Structure 1
Amino acid sequence: MAAVPVRICLLGPVAVTDDGRPVDVGGPRARALLARLSLDPGRVVGADELLAAVWEEDLPAAPGNALQALVSRLRRALPDVPVRAAGHGYLLDVAPAAVDATEWEQLLARARQATDPRLVVELLEQAEALWRGPALADLRDLAFTAAPVARWTELRLTATEQRLAAVLTTGSAAAALAELDELVTAHPLREPFCRLQVRALRLLGRPAEALAAYERCRAALAEELGLDPSPELRAEQLAVLRAEPPAPASRPGTALRTPLTSFRGRDDELSAVAALLDGARLVTLLGPGGAGKTRLALEAAHRRAAGVRDGVWWVELAPVADARLLPAAVLSAVGQREGTSLERVPTMVEAGARLQETFSDRRALLVLDNCEHLVAAVAALTDDLLAHCPGLQVLTTSREPLGVPGEAVLPVGPLEVPAPGDEAAADAPVVRLLADRAAAVRPDFAVTAATLPAVLEVCRRLDGMPLALELAAARLRTLSIGQIAARLDDRFALLTGGSRVALPRHQTLRAVVEWSWEALDEREQAVARRLSVFAGGATLDTAEQVCADPGWGRGAVLDAITGLVEKSMLLAVEDPEGGGIRYRMLETIRAWSAEQLTAARERAAVEAAQATWCLAFVDEHDPQLRGPGQLVAMARMRAEHDDLLAVFQRAVAAGDGDLAVHLGARLSWFWQLTGRQVAAGRWVTQALTAPGGPPALRAACRAFSAMGSAEFGNWQDAVPELRRVAELPPEHTHRSAEPLGAVAWAIATVFSGGLRSVEGLELLADHPDPWVVAAAHAMRAQVAENIGQLDGLEADLREAYDAFTRIGDRWGRSLASSALGQLALVDGDSSAAVRWFSGALELSEQLGTDDDTPLMRVRLAQAHALAGDLARAEADIAGVLAELGRDGGGMQLAMAESAAGELALLAGRLADAERWHAQALEHVRDAGSGPPQIEAMVQDGTALTLAARAEALAGADPEAATRLLDEAHRRLTTALRLAVEAAGDMPIAAGVVSALAAVARVGGDPVRAADLLGRASAVRGRRDRGNALANVTEARLQAELGEARFEQLRAAGEAVPREEVLAALGVDPTGGWLPVPLPDGSDPGARAHTRRR
């Protein structure tokens, strides 16, 4: 039986994890099949039983085939989970412990055999922790789940009874009672829970309540079932009546509340609290309202109680409004009011003295909860107690530090919200917390593939704040999770349904924030209001420019920000992009502050100040993107991007063309560098909806807008607009000192087909900005390579590389390096290709431009393959596939899979090649729109694999081989049309023609094959010695025809004009994108994507 790192989870929605990372099992039928097999791990489940479980009465027309296909899909989704055919069915060949339900039952069995009650509690708590919600929650509509669910439900209740009985045995009656109260309410006819409740009350010395609990159970049994209490329950009643004394407590008396809810996601913080208490006598849990400080303190106190000789004492300070009453309130909470008059509250001095007396010789932990409104008084009392009570430790929760010498502060922030696309999102603590609280009000609620996006949206919009999530969960009584997510724009009206027993300021979201707001002084409130305009937070310099009043002193904003941070209204975080400290607001606090900004009638003035700051910022940093300060400028612009974009979009909405165009143009090159080409096109298009803006910058917006349309494949709209940009006055474009205007003209002129040839870019040769000149050389080289005009290509690229090196532009150097590597690959110089591609990859990684690095790594792998190092090449591709697979991949993943297929084909592994190309084609189609030449590449590789399969079958099954070759030819015809008519991509088209040569050779026509290899060179503009599979075809043709005859035939093919080659192969050479008019002067059409580098 295979040992696998995979875990199959049935105690909740069906899920699979691999080394802790969730794995997508597939649709409902795949999950049902997995669940049914997992109920009997390691045992054969008959095909008929599996069909009945998955399809029930609605069997498919060919049941056996349908089941086999479903098993195949499950195997593809879970390659590390062996699903084996055996007998007349299938078995899941995993260890029983790989299934959570089986592990759970094993823990229950061990607990039944254990004699130590503490071990029983430990085992059963481990078992309970395996549950993630209702078992098989997403398959409850299938009949086969009914029996296991019913069995597990009963076992779980029985295990709960056993655990609570053991808890009572250990002397922890108070801890057990709260849970028993809930269980008796939920299961009023389940005698064991009532019996344990009566016992717990008796052990706590509360006989009247114990008898009342017995009576409620007796009455319910009689009314509902007509039964008398069992002898065991009557024995518990008798023990109460006999006044049997409670068992001695296992620990000294404490005053800790028993938690009524699960504790999620604070393991690191719990460890930190424990570590701090090991070394400090005063620890403060510091954080904003609703962050979960109280719950964390309670959990930490419970876990520490066993090691505190004289107990742990909990004091709730929220109800204490008068600082003078603080010592008396603490004295009362620790049970030391004896000896004082009930009519008179002891004075501060009296209460302080009694507290010193109480704790003077004790080793105890005092927990003071919610100190922020009494922070000065709590600081004074704590300092006094610690000075006079050497065995005392104090743990406080507050929104502001106490400021006492020796205080250790632990920040308690929100729970981390998983990033979009995180495979482990469903098991994140913040999601589990929301799911737990939701299940308490709606037992049928479960986090499934359908509900997860809305759950994550709620968690994100509420900053991962536990109290806000609990308020949101309470709304699930009447709203779906999707409806809650949709209504969070009005969060203060929505989140009002807190627990009736919670503190008043914890019952609504508005009350939580208002409590903190009222603790701010006037200047702190003003700065908080004004900071709300920053979507991504702000640096101190930015805040001082935007938030200050004219009459304030120099340090006023810093002082206010310091107060806001100390009072947990602002987060001070290290800025990984821009460096230094950045101040951020939680979204809920920002929403509140924004309300206050509007109410104060300051919004217009503050937003105008922010716009002024934005213009100055982009004017300073955009030019630096094209020089030695590129990395620093990119980091600063990344750090401020959320706010820059928010101001830009506000200008668009207001019809402020001057501001929108200025910002849009200045941000456009940053957007290009950071892989936001499509979004950039959309944004600058919005900027153009209103008139205004500097002419050169408006031209840049128009060019990038049109190129954005092209990214969507919409060249019909893009080309006319690009032509209009190309015809703008020279002083606004290529003769403008503004580099963005010159680049806009170059893009517009080349991509609209307006130049007689690419040499027209010479118009930029004397531009005053050296970066524009370098970009012109690089652009001309790219276009020339794309259309097969290769004369002067290398000279342009080297000039661009040298110029970008002198300027200090890493992006430009990477662009030119990659192109020089591609040229070296075509020339068959693998060592130069490796050198150029490695340099380009290093530069791209320095820039953090993830959009480009996968393609470079694929090309680097191709260079290693050309050098004969297939193992290195396949390792390179495996790394790319792993990275792209984690991020979703899309077209880039398809490209990498196609490259993996080519390497497998070179190594002679046909099955692997077929698998990789099939996956690549599936990803191309899943991606929808995208560069058509990528599908052409995938079809090319698929056809070559079909040809190799046909060659292997030719002797044994000629008819099958012929069918495979026909299919290969059909795919290559499709690929050629995509490459030429849709993309105008001559390098890709040349590769397709080379593949046609391979098909012709396998089909028995080596003469045509040799001619086609020559014609591929005619399409490409030179022989492509970097095409490893074409090199294999060439070697085989030389062996079959003889070297001289082969060279004669290939030379004849090379002499055929490109247009004639393509026309003869049935494609329209005028249909795709070409940047120059055709020889007859006709319009090339230009209607699809160009190749990116």
Structure 2
Amino acid sequence: MHVGILGPVEAHSPDGKLAVGGPRPRTLLAMLALRVGDVVPLDRLVDELYGSEPPADAANALQGQVSRLRRALGDASLIEFHSAGYRLALAADQVDAHRFASLAADGQQALEQGDPQAAESLLSEALQLWRGPALADVDAADHATRLEQQRSSAVSALIAARIRLGRADVQEIQGLVRQNPLDERLRGYLMQALNQQGRQAEALQAFEDARSLLADELGADPSPELRAVHVQILRGQTQRELPAQLTSFVGRQEELQRIATLTSRLVTLTGPGGAGKTRLALQSATPSAIFVDLAPAKDVAAATLHALGLKETVLEPEDRLTLALRERNTVLILDNCEHLIVQAAQLAQHLLSTCPRLRILATSREALGITGETLCPVPPLNPEQSVALFVDRARLVNPAFVRDQYTVDICRELDGLPLAIELAAARTRTLTTQEIADRLNDRFRLLTKGNRAAAPRHQTLRAVVEWSWDLLSEDERDLAASLATFSGGATLEAVEQVGGHDIEVLEALVDKSLVEANDGRYRMLETIREFCSQHKRVDAEHTAYFHALARRADPELRQRNQVRWFARLTAEHANLMQAVEWATSHDPELALRLVSDLSWYWYLKGSRTEVEGVARRLLAVVPEQSTEEYAILLALAAPERVRNKWHELPGPIKQPFVLIAWAMLDGPPDPTAPRTRLQDEMERSEDPWIQGLIGFSKSYLSWVSTGDRAAAIEQSRTALHQFQSLGERWGAAQVLDVLANLTEDPHEALALTDEALRAVTELGAAEEMAEFRGRRADRLLDLDQDEAEREYHQALEMATQAGLAATRALANAGLAKIAQRRGDPARAEQLLREAQRELGFGWMQESAKQYVEDALTELARTREA
């Protein structure tokens, strides 16, 4: 069912046009259609049908009209009765007036957003719904006037859209002007349409006609807007419209809001090539903005004259532009300034100083660098926006496209760079997202099929980066290639030492959007880094720098500044791993030393699983030797082979990881076994950290062997003081855990565990954080079972992330104990079997395995009882 009121009142069913009836049923239908979906009050309907002389029994009379209309429509349910009135039960788009209003609003919005093509389409469709004067055959003058005003507004907007497209109909506008001779907006449209057709004299005469009529009829002068059109025609300006966009705009709400709130007269959008600076500038601009594409230009002033439709004269181009723009309140968009940066800066300064109402929005890979400039960086899209853009563009070539995890991976790998994402999305026509993701290691070959009509530098990913590369000086290219060697960005010190250039060259790369500077680190987008690294590599210098950093940092990790140094190494983690990988392939002996120097950091960070692969590759290429470095390598790559190697080490110990690995893999020493040279060397060590470790070990062993709790506590407190005087959190946490085991007060044990947990959390030691979280759960088990369960789950999650089988097994054993207490032995056994399956080699894992087996035995005994 459809109802029409934009003309005579009509109703159409699927079978054709319906005979609505006489004036009152038509009026009733029109009033209900005007408020379709809403309840129209009874008194309002009576007023509309009967005016100031309603019948004596108005309610019954209205009910009679409703009955007639229901019969005419053939479906009584279409007109619903409610206590307050009647309602037409149709969707809004089933009434032509509401459909018109929706289309017209969308068209006017498209026009405001700079899309005249879409505006023309929507507004034309809206106006085609009109069949004549609104409500032509019913007495509803107020409603008809309101609808006609909406129609007039839509007609004006349609004319504006066609003027922007350069295809306005002069005769149509002349007819409208005759109907509305005092409408200055229509007069302005007529002048613009005539001027576009080369009829400048007629356009100027149209202004004189308007001025005379306004003076005679109203005693007024033309409006500023109409006068501005007149001046534009006098100067011969035929300003180009903003380029219409062929795809939807995705994301960038934060940047749009920032641009809208800036009061500076010069705003420069900066960012790497392909970041979407041009699109953002066009999206933020009003339709009256002037767009100047400088990418193909060689002269900024000449290109700006061309964009304004101005011809060069005997005047200097800058002066000609001043005359054209001095009185205009508009925005000049200077797009792609980077290759003409000096010219763009000079023209911007000249125009801003001579045209007080002019504002300039520039896009460039570097700032213009003049007084009063406000920078608005255009960063890569965030993950959510990146995926939304990929999906939107992929569905243009593959309507059935559905996002998946590979979509997210692609967008992350492409750094959220809009152009790269759009090029990748275009590939979904022939490739799956998995195939695209697998080929991104050669992204410059993959992402080559862009818009054929786009500028050459935007047709392939390589071209957009090459455009920036070609604008660099020799020193800038050399440093960019050197910086591309770094996996995880770099500090200023690293850039200067490895790259061999001073800070001015680095700052130039930052200014030109090739390098990002954030929190004291300098990094490249992965796409830019991959391009630059093809020109030069400085891996040997890179590895030497990070080996020196590792050697300098290692002793600091066991002293007061350990948190700061641990954070520094963590920030360089990717670079350190890269250095080990390169040295393994090119200088295995250097790699062996580097592995040793990083071993304690890796242990604290919980990276042993991560480094296992490269450690095994290194083990395959270095000869066996009785050195501390080789023992560390074995502990990381083949722990089952390291046990005999401890006894070959002559000492003294240089790297404490040897002692920790020894303890984890071999467990407490057998007091009846012969002493080794390594034990003697360790006890003779003057290193205060090793002395603290020995004290901690002795306190634990003496308690196990003698049962003297008080002596063990005293020895532990001495070791704790040793570590705390060093400011060493890891060792202090280990001793606090021993003290928690020694105390007989469960609340004190919990407090000591919390203190240990705070120490390793401050340090960021992942393995210990997981381990102490499990210990905390153990000590909560008899105090608060529900909280203990939560702690076990958290320990399980943290141990999974760190790859700690023993800690996972013990957490599952704790959860099994809770399940058993709650009367669920089947669940308890399932958890214990799961723990049993994942345990492997090493004393800690053997110890955990024994604990799990004891728990299984106890569970079986309980079930039999």
2:303 to 329, 338, 342: 329
* Contact 1:811 1:844 survives alignment (8 Å): yes
Residue equivalent to 1:839: 755
Q: Deviations over 1:515-568 (max 9, x none)?
A: 1111111111111111121111222221222222xxxxxxx4322112111111
Is 1:354 paired with 2:320? yes
Structure-to-structure mapping, 1:1015-1030, within 5 angstroms = none
Distance 1:170-1:969 versus aligned 2 partners, 3 A rule: closer
**Bigger radius of gyration:** 2
Residue identity matched to 1:263: F
1:803 to 722, 725, 728: 722
Q: What displacement does 1:691 show? A: 1.9
CA separation of 1:293/1:727 partners in 2, compared to 1, >3 Å: closer, same or farther?
same
Shift of 1:673: 0.3
Distance 1:893 1:482, change over 3 A: closer
Please list, as runs of the form range in 1=range in 2, the aligned pairs for 1:748-827 lying within 5 A after superposition: 749-750=666-667, 756=672, 763=680, 764-778=682-696, 794=713, 797-824=716-743, 827=744
SS in 2 for 1:852: helix
| Aligned equivalent of 1:402 | 368
8 A contact 2:290–2:332 mirrored in 1: yes
Taking structure 1 as reference, are residues 466 and 563 closer, same or farther at Cα in structure 2, changes over 3 Å only?
same
Distance 1:805 1:383, change over 3 A: same
1:160–1:371 Cα change, 3 Å? farther
Partner of 1:728: 648
Residue 816 of structure 2 aligns to a residue in which SS?
Answer: helix
8 Å Cα contact 1:857-1:876 kept in structure 2: no
Q: Which amino acid aligns with 2:269?
A: L
Structure 1 residues 518, 997: CA separation in 2 closer, same or farther (over 3 Å shift)? same
From 273, 292, 295, give the equivalent of 2:259: 273
After the TM superposition, which residues 863-874 of structure 1 pair with which residues of structure 2 at under 5 Å, given as runs?
863=779, 866=782, 870=784
What is the rounded CA distance, in whole Å, between the counterparts of 2:832 and 2:567 in structure 1? 46
Q: CA offsets, 1:222-254, max 9 Å, x none?
A: xxxxxxxxxxxxxx9997998999968999988
TM-score by length of 2: 0.70
**Residue 593 of structure 1: how far off its partner (Å):** 1.0
Question: CA–CA distance in 1 between the matches of 2:771 and 2:562?
Answer: 22
Report the Cα offset of residue 622 of structure 1: 1.1
Offset at residue 808 of structure 1 (A): 2.1
**1:375 aligned to which of 333, 341, 346:** 341
Task: Give me the whole-angstrom Cα distance separating, in 2, the residues matched to 1:169 and 1:466.
Answer: 28
Residues 565, 979 of structure 1: alpha-carbon distance in 2 compared, 3 angstrom cutoff: closer
User: Match of 2:7?
Assistant: none
Count of residue pairs brought into register by the alignment: 696
Match of 2:445 in 1: 493
Residues 775 and 706 of structure 1, relative CA distance in 2, 3 Å threshold: farther
Matches of residues 449-468 of structure 1 in structure 2 within 5 Å? Answer: 451=404, 453-468=405-420
**Amino acid in the other structure paired with 1:640:** E
8 Å CA contact retained: 1:980, 1:989: no
Distance 1:786 1:892 in 2: 31
Q: For residues 623-646 of structure 1, what are the alpha-carbon distances to aligned partners after superposition, in whole Å with 9 as ceiling and x for unaligned?
A: 111112211211111122211111
Match of 2:577 in 1: 645
Q: Where does residue 313 of structure 1 map in the other structure?
A: 290
CA pair 795-989 structure 1, distance change in 2 beyond 3 A: farther
Give yes or no for contact 1:700–1:743 (8 Å, CA) kept in 2. no
1:465, distance to aligned residue in structure 2 (A): 0.6
* Residue in structure 2 matched with residue 676 of structure 1 by the alignment: 607
State the distance in 2 between where 1:974 and 1:291 align: 53
The answer as to whether partners of 1:821 and 1:837 remain within 8 angstroms in 2 is yes
The one-letter amino acid paired with 2:511 is E
Query: Cα–Cα, structure 1 residues 724 and 880, in superposed 2: closer, same or farther, change >3 Å?
Result: closer
**How far did 1:620 drift?**
0.7
Instruction: Say if 1:743 and 1:944 are closer, same or farther in 2 by CA, change over 3 A.
Output: closer
Tell me: CA distance 1:172–1:933, structure 2 relative to 1, closer, same or farther (3 Å). closer
Partner residue, 1:515: 467
Instruction: Name stretches of at least 5 consecutive residues in structure 1 with no aligned partner.
Output: 1-108, 115-151, 212-235, 306-310, 418-427, 549-555, 575-580, 598-602, 708-717, 895-923, 947-963, 1004-1093
1:289 match:
273
Deviation at 1:169, TM superposition (A): 5.4
> Residues 563-582 of structure 1 correspond to what in structure 2 (within 5 A)?
563-574=508-519, 581-582=520-521
User: 1:670, CA displacement in angstroms?
Assistant: 0.7
Residues 591, 969 of structure 1: alpha-carbon distance in 2 compared, 3 angstrom cutoff: closer
Shift of 1:829: 3.5
Question: Which residue number in structure 1 is paired with residue 76 of structure 2?
Answer: none
CA distance in 2, matches of 1:613, 1:671: 18
Question: Could you tell me which residue of structure 1 aligns to residue 765 of structure 2?
Answer: 849
Distance 2:36 2:316 in 1: 52
- CA offsets 1:449-490 (integer angstroms, 9 cap, x no match): xx2x31122112211111111111112222111111111122
State the shift of 1:931 in Å.
Answer: 4.4
Residue 260 of structure 2 aligns with an amino acid whose one-letter code is A
SS at 1:596 equivalent: coil
Instruction: Give the secondary structure class of the aligned counterpart of 1:431.
Output: helix
Q: Which residue of 2 aligns with 1:423?
A: none
1:434 CA displacement: 1.1
What TM-score comes out, normalization by structure 1 length? 0.56
CA contact (8 A) 1:979 1:989 kept: no
Indicate how the Cα distance of structure 1 residues 647 and 439 shifts in structure 2: closer, same or farther if over 3 A, else same: same
After TM superposition, give the deviation of residue 174 of structure 1 in Å: 8.4
Residue in structure 2 matched with residue 223 of structure 1 by the alignment: none
Cα 1:651–1:260 shift into 2, 3 Å: same
Determine the structure 2 residue equivalent to 1:546.
498
CA distance in 2, matches of 1:972, 1:374: 68
Q: Are 1:945 and 2:822 matched, yes or no?
A: yes
Change (3 A) 1:997 1:632: same
Please tell me whether residue 935 in structure 1 is matched to residue 812 in structure 2: yes
1:476 aligns with 2:433: no
Which residue in the other structure is 2:217 paired with?
none
* Counterpart for residue 263 of structure 1: 249
Q: Tell me the equivalent position of 2:389.
A: 433
Q: Is the alpha carbon distance of 1:726 and 1:750 closer, same or farther for their aligned partners in structure 2, counting shifts above 3 Å?
A: farther
Which of 659, 662, 670 aligns to 2:590? It is: 659
What is the aligned partner in structure 2 of residue 1072 from structure 1?
A: none
AA of the residue aligned to 1:771: W
Q: Deviations over 1:323-353 (max 9, x none)?
A: 3xx2232122134x1xx4xxxx446x53212
Relative to structure 1, the CA distance from residue 697 to residue 500 in structure 2 (aligned partners, 3 Å threshold; closer, same or farther) is: same
Change (3 A) 1:392 1:990: same
Q: Is the 8 A contact 1:891 1:930 kept in 2?
A: yes
Pair 179,797 (structure 1): closer, same or farther in 2 beyond 3 Å: farther
Change (3 A) 1:812 1:249: farther
Following superposition, the deviation at residue 381 of structure 1 comes to 0.8
Runs of at least 5 residues in structure 2 that lack an aligned partner in the other structure: 1-33, 40-90, 131-150, 179-184, 190-224, 230-238
Q: 1:730 to 1:415 in 2, by over 3 A?
A: same
C-alpha RMSD of matched pairs (Å): 4.7
CA distance in structure 2 between the partners assigned to 1:383 and 1:331 by the alignment = 16
CA displacement, residues 875-906 of structure 1 (integer Å, 9 cap, x when unaligned): 6875886x78xxx9276699xxxxxxxxxxxx
For the 8 Å contact 2:829–2:856, the answer to whether it is kept is no
> Post-superposition shift, 1:318?
1.1
Aligned amino acid, residue 364 of structure 2: S
Determine the C-alpha separation between the residues in 2 that align with 1:968 and 1:506: 60
1:529 corresponds to which letter in structure 2? Answer: A
Residue 81 of structure 1 aligns with which residue?
none
CA distance, structure 2, for counterparts of residue 512 and residue 805 of structure 1: 55
CA 1:941–1:758: 2 relative to 1, 3 Å:
farther
Change (3 A) 1:968 1:670: closer
